[in-house]
Amino acid sequence: MKKSLRVMKGYLHFVLFMILMLSIAVGIQLMRVTLPTAISLAVFVAAISLDFVTTWKCLKAGGREGNPIVAGLFKKIGVRNTMLCTAGVWVLILVFRWLPGTLIGQTSTAIVYWIVPLNNIMVLRREQKKLQDRRVLQNVAAIVNGNAEAI
């Protein structure tokens, strides 16, 4: 029962996250904010790269993937293979959808995608704090139990 509630909470979090990203993209488009293609491409590629790095670090720190599709792929084919496949998909998107796209679409996508690595950074900090708290509790337990050498 607990696992199904956690899964439902994960899906709800993902849907709310996507609604937030879509809302920001619509806002950017309504304001008619645009960047030249080369700059928006550089901003987007930087966000994608940081997403990969922060996702990897979060997983190593004990976090989990928030995107249910990618999380399922992690389980089926592994993290490394999923990231390689995802990188290939991003290249295809950039070549066939990004370059012929409109300036306003490119700009909104480039800016909005930064939410993903920023979220990952917040998760990474939270996971690192949990790990640090666990270490402190283990040290206190070792002192209380007279195992000061264990520290």
78 φψ region: left (φ > 0), alpha (ψ -120 to 50), beta (else): left
CB atoms within 10 A of CB 3: 7
If one counts every other C-beta atom within 10 angstroms of the C-beta of residue 55, the result is 25
Cβ-Cβ contacts under 8 Å for 10 (sequence gap 6 or more): 66, 68, 71
What pLDDT digit, counting tens, does each position of 31-75 carry?
Answer: 777 888 889 899 999 999 999 999 999 998 888 888 888 999 999
User: Residue 90 pLDDT more than 70?
Assistant: yes
Q: How far apart are the first and last CA of the chain?
A: 38
pTM recorded for the entire structure = 0.72
Name every residue whose Cβ is closer than 8 Å to that of residue 124 and which is 6 or more positions away in sequence. Answer: 54, 57, 58, 61, 63
Average pLDDT for 5-18: 74
Mind giving me the DSSP string for 119-130?
HHHHHHHHHHHH
Q: Which residues contact 95 (CB under 8 A, 6 or more apart)?
A: none
